[in-house]
Structure 1
Amino acid sequence: MLHYAGFTRRIGDVDRGDTVMDYLAAERERGITIQSAAITFGWRGRQLHLIDTPGHVDFTVEVERALRVLDGAVAIVDAVAGVQAQTLTVWRQAAAYGIPRVVFINKMDREGADYKKCVDEIESRLGIRALVLQAPETAVRGRLEGRALESWIDAVTLERVTYEITDDRTGSKVTRQRLTAADASYATAAAARTRLVEALAEVDSQIVDAFLGVDGDHLQVPADDVRAAVRRATLANRGCPVLLGAAARNIGVQPLLDAVVDYLPAPTDRPAPVPLDPEAPLVAFAFKVTVDAQRGPMVFVRVYSGNLRARASLDNATRGGVRERAMRLVQMYADTAEEIPEIPCGHIGVVLGLHHTRTGDTLLDPHHPSLHGVKIATKLNKATHPPRPVGLQLHGIAVPRPVFFCAVEADSPRDERPLAEALAQLQLEDPSLHVSFDEETGQTLISGMGELHLDIVRTRLLGDLKVNASFGALRVSYREAASREAAVDHTHVREPSRAAMRVSVAPLPDNDDNAIQVELSSDIPELEDDTVRAAIEDGINSGLQRGTLLGFPVARTRVHVDSVQHFGVELTTPAALRVCARQALARAFAEASPQLLEPTAHVDIRCPEKHLGAVLGDLNGERRAHVLSLGDDAEVSEKAVVAEVPLAAMVGYASALRSLTAGTGSFSMEVVGFGQMPQQRQQQVIRESLGYNPE
């Protein structure tokens, strides 16, 4: 895309490790995208902001925060593998934000490529009407290795689109030829146009009028009417355009760019959180933060209202209105920055000089009407809980809880500070990375979304940030839940402070893995004081972060504060109330027969039939898998196994599967929830974690 738009002179290659967007050393070494990168370029007189997101499930938060600010998306589907598990995950993320999508079926030059099967899966598995805009005309052997599809049928314009494959593999010369009835490919074009118009008729009423206006002749419907119908269906999320290509051969890229302009929405076509008005007070959303060694924190923002100008004052409404100054504004081209005077309404840019802003924060003009009469924070609270939000709040970004963790330790006392600073930087960049300190063991724990996620963190700490540290074994992050009701009366006394309260806990249904209910009795006079209520809530919330079995977060539990005894403002301070609430919750939870909940993964495995027995035997053995389905993928002569497996049993599965299938197996995995752990397994986990049997 960048090459054809005139942004780069040569086309980068993932295998060579010289792509523009994947610029981190770990990305180039592994040939994958780890963190989303943004770039701006023009096409057909439009300015496009392109964000390249990772495909691996461990980096799903990168996809989430990019989708939060995008107007449209291009989903890539493998022509051989079809719709995969992670395709479904990302598709659901985009659907949750109502983002119109275009589908690009890639790798059409590979053996076993079947775009018709992919189209069927798009409709059956993704649940949307596929509007197929192209059809392959022929496959020939050219100067390139393997099969190169050099010409396509455009079902919208009834043209043959031909790519001239030159020795430099650019595929940049594209010619279009109008087909006539005398052409051998006319029947293919007619069939493709008929299918497209009939598919449109199911999701767009106006195309039916155009169809009847030409006496029901699919081929006579004007191309402009077809194009307009595709756009309406796409913007309404009733259908999605489907295009074909072979990205490794640089085939199909220009029509995809045309489809982005023709069918995906402009900012004014999308329902924005606030009206897109350049004359209104500034409203911007911070969707990503990175740290540059020279520039410091770089905050990626989308401006929804007003225009953000350099050196403007901003109030961070999410963090109590703390004021910051946008010292400089830049436009990012992957890892290259170009300074700009302003970020216009509807556009994406980067702000330098914001030291307190984090992912998901709302930035407002200090004179925004929603801030009138609001008490603004003069500085951030350094305690665990930041100031309460003020003014207009844009919808934040949901960050899933981590499911894997490991210990990290500085190699020497002088390495402790660099390690802490490096971890703080990575946390700032990656909100799905959690860092905590275990007071019982004295260890620093880092928690993430998966094996690859934590492996990348380790690589960046040791390689990019040059930290001297050692890492412990990878472990799974469980949850703790009450299994029965319990209540305690607790008094906290630490001279000169004192507080007392009664706290009860009870289990919640298992239909929501992270469900927590905190209730404060409505007939407690002391709770009419906002300071008292806030202190108790803070204490309860703090206690829920660490259960009494192994210190994992509490889930599926209801907490009720039944009574509070106040000994006067001099004795019952907010600090005393917080400590009392936390201690009372810990005692009540310990008496509620707490149990461990273990994360469960939905696993999709593909392997040759001759290895199926070994794979199933491994799953049904110590991995404690529940096999959901067995199927055939006849196109690639593989067996497909779908199972739910405890996540702890999937640690190291990539290596195990390679061994079981002689390197021919592959799998994808997605954490889908938490399940109750068998008692025998729970006792084993507790023994392994504590180093002894607590009984």
Structure 2
Amino acid sequence: MHALNLGILAHVDAGKTSLTERLLHAAGVIDEIGSVDDGSTRTDSLALERRRGITIRSAVVSFALNGVTVNLLDTPGHPDFIAEVERVLNVLDGAVLVVSAVEGVQAQTRVLMRTLQRLCIPTLIFVNKVDRRGADGERVLRQIAGRLTPDAVAMAAVDGPGTRAARVTPYGAAGTGFTERLADLLTRHDDALLTAYVEDPSAVSYGRLRGELAAQTRRGLVHPVFFGSAVTGAGLETLRAGLTELLPAATGAADGPVSGTVFKVERGPAGEKIAYVRMFSGTVRTRDPLPFHGPGAPRRSPAKVTAISVFDRGAEPRRDAVAAGRIGKLWGLGDIRTGDGVGAAEAPGSRQHFAPPTLETVVVPRRPADRRALHLALTRLAEQDPLIGLRRDGSRGQTSLSLYGEVQKEVIEATLAEEFGVEADFHATTPLCIERPAGPGAAFEIIAEDPNPFLATVGLRVDPAPAGAGSDFRLEVELGSMPHAFVRAVEETVHETLRQGVYGWQVEDCTVTLTHSGYWARQSHAHGVFDKSMSSTSGDFRQLTPLVLMDALRRAGTRVYEPVHRFRLEIPADTLGPLSPLLARLHAVPRTQTVRDAECLLEGEIPVARVHELERRLPGLTRGEGVLECAFAGYQPVHGEVPVRARTDHDPLHRKEYLLKVVRRVAGRPEGG
């Protein structure tokens, strides 16, 4: 049986979890449709999800449809949990983007659609809630064309919208207007079809148009729009038929090299790790030694798979193997983390698609005795969401977390209390800045020359790189000039040291080049005993590299940049006057301003640290009619006082204190050549 790994995505409250329930009920997986309000849905299994009525973690459930096994992945809709959505995108064959027929296209809807288009993920659009008061399918269609994509076509008509009796009638070959709209859309992307249609429209059959619609949808070129209600079931059969007709089945050779992606990690009843894996190629079997690795990181030692479950028809039966195209749960991989790739072959789509977290908060236990328990609990949460970005300050007994927003912070606080029994206090969120080199800078220290107490020679040069380039390590010394283990020690320590620059922030967009290297070869006495005091080790390079790199960064100079969002603000035109002083006070910079009738559209940039206050003040200044959309736009230089982040390392900026911490003896180095 073919498989389709399908994602359900939406802005919060558009009805994607209700749609999931309706699809499961129609497939016979559940006997009764659950309610988000009652906390009885199949995919919102966490107590916190049921109480809040929102999806926090992605969930997988399977059902059969027209001979295809559909693995349906329900995802969070709140922007604070966008990282969960990102990980699901890496494993999808297709997606359904849910839009409310009442609220229409919303901020998160646009973020999701842009990402789906960028990744060329075949996407159907489902306009939900046609039975709700205020539903307006035509208005939503115009919004889809104007705000999401012009390459969309309605697949059905809605009769009696806004009432419980709303019905959905699919378009067919008899609908002249539909075939004309379909032909107009499809001929934009196919010259041969355009030529045939221009020469003789009647010669292009409806069957050919439907076939071309499926082909272009699977290539991510066009987006069929369906209508319905997850509550009443109206329009659901048309959508169900479209899933298997228009979206592509999973591909991959079961006998190929093993390749997969871990998109979720959870703990079982006994505390064991369970990894959710989408297989792209090959087959993993029980008792197989399975290598795995983080994105762009070296492969770690293989671990033996002790058990496998495969999602199938609403259940998760134990199996001996999971093959390409399927989603399985693997036991036995003790060091596995969310985002890891498994197997010898690189899995597709392992890179990050959404912006990184731009806020940070400090969390401390309310009871000092819970310090260790808090650290363990946060480590467990970081297994599930690596973007939490734990940063521990042992001297202060504090741990910092990277966040997307205030709701995520509230959820983590509740999770710590409910799942781990740890009550914690969170400090106010602050923007997560970065540092960039202002220019080139270089430094080196030579073995056996003061003031270098280590048996290593390291020279490093730091050069600025284009914005968004990240950090890169290069060699300007011969590859065989010293053992590879020493070169690797320098490279790993460089990346570790760049996490805290001159002002304590992560250093980005730079190239670090190894310009000098040297070591003392392994020494031993006549009787063959190894003499460590006369031989270089990897530890010498790991301890010296931070001193050299920070010296080079200090000479290069760094500048601190704060994260900014691009905003799109729709307000009544007569409220622009009262709103403008607030925008100025929040350092928001409008770039464009358009007034149409009684509506004003503003677009520009605003510091991330100011977005929350704008969201809070906007309803009162716009009579509740203002609509704000924000998306990460990059970083801008900090103006005024430069924010300094407390260090959590041994502080290589202060040499004497650093040496006292990393070596017992900073002087009296043994003589040698």
The RMSD of aligned alpha carbons is 3.3
SS for the counterpart of 2:266 is: strand
Show the counterpart of 1:667: 628
Structure 1 contact 21–334 (Cα < 8 Å) conserved: no
SS class of match (2:188)? helix
Paired residues of 1:131 and 1:200 also in contact (CA < 8 A):
no
| 1:297 has 2:258 as partner | no
- Per-residue Cα deviation, 1:399-426 (whole angstroms, up to 9, x for no partner): 4543211111223343122212211110
Q: 1:151 aligns with which of 161, 167, 177?
A: 167
How far the C-alpha of 1:63 sits from its partner, in A, is: 1.8
Tell me, in whole angstroms, the C-alpha distance in 2 between the residues paired with 1:630 and 1:293.
Answer: 56
1:70 is paired with a residue whose SS is coil
What CA distance in whole angstroms lies between the structure 1 residues aligned with 2:581 and 2:232?
40
AA aligned to 2:185 is A
Q: Distance in 2 between matches of 1:480 and 1:675?
A: 11
Superposition deviation, residue 499 in structure 1: 2.7
SS of the residue 2:364 aligns to: strand
Distance 1:632 1:689 in 2: 48
Q: Distance in 2 between matches of 1:335 and 1:669?
A: 37
Aligned to 2:656: none
Task: Measure, in 1, the Cα distance between the counterparts of 2:463 and 2:196.
Answer: 62
Instruction: Specify every segment of 5 or more residues in structure 2 that has no aligned partner in the other structure, as ranges.
Output: 1-22, 523-533, 649-673
CA distance in structure 2 between the partners assigned to 1:578 and 1:468 by the alignment: 37
1:32-56 Cα distance to aligned partner (Å, 9 max, x none): 2222111101123321111112233
CA contact (8 A) 1:12 1:18 kept: yes
Query: Partners in 1 of 2:50 and 2:413 — Cα distance?
Result: 16
Match of 1:508 in 2: 465
Matched, 1:26 2:48: yes
For 1:197, give the aligned amino acid: A
Matching residue of 2:326:
347
- CA distance in structure 2 between the aligned counterparts of 1:149 and 1:190, rounded to whole angstroms: 26
Q: Pick the aligned partner of 1:555 from 472, 495, 508.
A: 508
Classify 1:496/1:582 alpha carbon distance in 2 versus 1 (closer, same or farther; 3 Å). closer
Distance 1:283 1:235 in 2: 23
* Corresponding residue for residue 37 of structure 2: 15
Match of 1:277 among 241, 246, 253: 253
Preserved CA contact (<8 Å) 2:61 2:315: no
1:531 maps to: 485
Contact 2:167 2:234 (C-alpha < 8 Å) held by counterparts: no
Q: Name the CA shift for 1:282/1:12 in 2 (closer, same or farther; >3 Å).
A: same
- Corresponding position: 1:676 with 2:641: no
Mapped contact 2:561–2:636 kept (Cα < 8 A): yes
CA distance in 1, matches of 2:166, 2:111: 32
Distance 1:230 1:471, change over 3 A: same
1:264 corresponds to which residue?
Answer: 247
Query: Which 10-residue stretch deviates more, 202-211 or 441-450?
Result: 202-211
1:191 to 145, 161, 177: 177
Match of residue 125 from structure 2: 103
Structure 2 equivalent of residue 179 of structure 1: none
Whether the aligned pair in 2 keeps the contact of 1:64 and 1:93 (CA below 8 Å) is no
The more displaced of 331-340 and 666-675 is 331-340
8 A contact 2:107–2:628 mirrored in 1: no
Identity of aligned residues (%): 28
Amino acid at match of 1:566: Y
Q: For the residues of structure 2 that align with 1:517 and 1:18, how far apart are their CA atoms?
A: 49
| 1:658-681 alpha-carbon deviations (Å, 9 max, x no partner) | 444465544332222111111x1x
Letter in 1 for 2:351: A
> Which moves more between the two structures, 651-660 or 253-262?
651-660
Q: Does 1:246 align with 2:201?
A: no
Alpha-carbon separation, structure 1, partners of 2:458 and 2:68: 63
Query: Residue 92 of structure 2: SS of its match in structure 1?
Result: coil
Q: TM-score of the superposition, structure 1-length normalised?
A: 0.79
Query: What residue is the counterpart of 1:358 in the other structure?
Result: 337
Closer/same/farther in 2, CA of residues 291 and 668 from structure 1, 3 Å limit: farther
Pick from 21, 25, 36: which aligns with 1:3?
25
Q: Residue 439 of structure 1: CA displacement?
A: 5.0
Q: Give 2:554's aligned amino acid.
A: A
Question: Could you tell me how far 1:339 is from its partner in structure 2?
Answer: 3.3
Corresponding residue for residue 160 of structure 2:
139
Cα 1:216–1:525 shift into 2, 3 Å: closer
Specify which of 357, 360, 370 is matched with residue 402 of structure 1: 357
Taking a change above 3 Å as real, the CA distance of residues 253 and 610 of structure 1, as seen in their structure-2 partners, is: farther
Contact kept, 8 Å, 1:310 with 1:328, in 2: the verdict is yes
**SS, match of residue 260 in structure 2:** strand
Q: Are 2:95 and 1:73 equivalent residues in the alignment?
A: yes
Residue 461 and residue 641 in structure 1: after superposition, are their counterparts in 2 closer, same or farther (change >3 A)? farther
Is contact 2:266–2:273 with CA below 8 Å preserved after alignment? yes
Give the Cα–Cα distance (whole angstroms) in 2 for the partners of residues 582 and 495 of structure 1.
Answer: 12
**Partner AA of 2:556 in structure 1:** A
- Secondary structure of 1:89's aligned partner: helix
- Cα 1:462–1:66 change in 2 (3 A) is same
SS at the partner of 2:26?
coil
Question: What is the distance in 1 between the residues matched to 2:314 and 2:414?
Answer: 19
- Are positions 1:255 and 2:238 aligned together? yes
- Secondary structure, aligned partner of 2:386: coil
Q: Matches of residues 27-46 of structure 1 in structure 2 within 5 Å?
A: 27-46=49-68
Judged with a 3 Å threshold, the aligned counterparts in structure 2 of structure 1 residues 572 and 438 are, in CA distance, closer, same or farther, namely: same
Please tell me the residue identity of whatever aligns with 1:301.
Answer: V
Deviations 1:640-668 (A, max 9, x none): 44331011122454333344446554433
Residue in 1 that maps onto 2:536: 572
Hey, what's the Cα distance between the residues in 2 that align with 1:286 and 1:114?
40
Q: What secondary structure, in the 3-state scheme, does the structure 2 residue paired with 1:669 have?
A: strand
- Judge conservation of contact 2:371–2:397 (CA < 8 Å) in 1: no
In structure 1, distance between residues paired with 2:569 and 2:214: 37
Residue 616 of structure 1 pairs with residue 587 of structure 2 = no
Alpha carbons of structure 1 residues 640 and 35: separation in structure 2 relative to 1, 3 Å: farther
Normalised TM-score (structure 2)? 0.81
CA distance in 2, matches of 1:625, 1:43: 50
d(CA) in 1 for partners of 2:212, 2:550: 60
Secondary structure at 1:426 match in 2: helix
Partner Cα distance (2:482, 2:521) in 1:
15
Mapped pair 1:645 → 2:606: yes
CA 1:95–1:539 in structure 2 vs 1: closer, same or farther (change >3 Å)?
same
Distance (whole Å) between structure 2 residues aligned to residue 29 and residue 639 of structure 1: 38
User: Is 1:108–1:149's contact at 8 Å kept on the other side of the alignment?
Assistant: no
CA positional deviation for 1:210: 8.0
Pairwise CA distance, 1:8:
1.6
Q: Structure 1 residues 527 and 670 mapped into 2: Cα distance closer, same or farther (>3 Å)? A: farther
Which sections of structure 1, spanning at least 5 residues, go unmatched?
141-145, 159-188, 269-275, 365-390, 691-695
Task: Supply the distance in 1 between the matched residues of 2:412 and 2:242 (Cα, whole angstroms).
Answer: 37
SS of 1:287's equivalent in the other structure is strand
1:102-133 alpha-carbon deviations (Å, 9 max, x no partner):
11123444566554454455445445522322
What SS does the corresponding residue of 1:8 show, helix, strand or coil? coil
1:658/1:212 Cα in 2 relative to 1: closer, same or farther (>3 Å)?
A: closer
State the Cα distance separating 1:451 from its structure 2 match.
Answer: 2.7
Change in CA separation of 1:247 and 1:607 when aligned onto 2, cut-off 3 Å: farther
| Per-residue deviation, 1:537 | 1.1
Residues 267 and 619 of structure 1: is their aligned pair in 2 closer, same or farther, counting only changes over 3 Å?
same
- Within the candidate set 213, 216, 222, 2:201 is matched to 216
Q: How does 1:153-552 map to 2 (within 5 A)?
A: 153-158=169-174, 189-204=175-190, 216-217=201-202, 223-268=206-251, 276-280=252-256, 282-294=258-270, 296-316=272-292, 320=299, 322-331=301-310, 337-364=316-343, 391-395=344-348, 397-399=350-352, 401-439=356-394, 441-490=396-445, 497-509=454-466, 512-513=467-468, 515-522=470-477, 527-549=481-503, 551-552=504-505
Report what 2:15 is aligned to. none
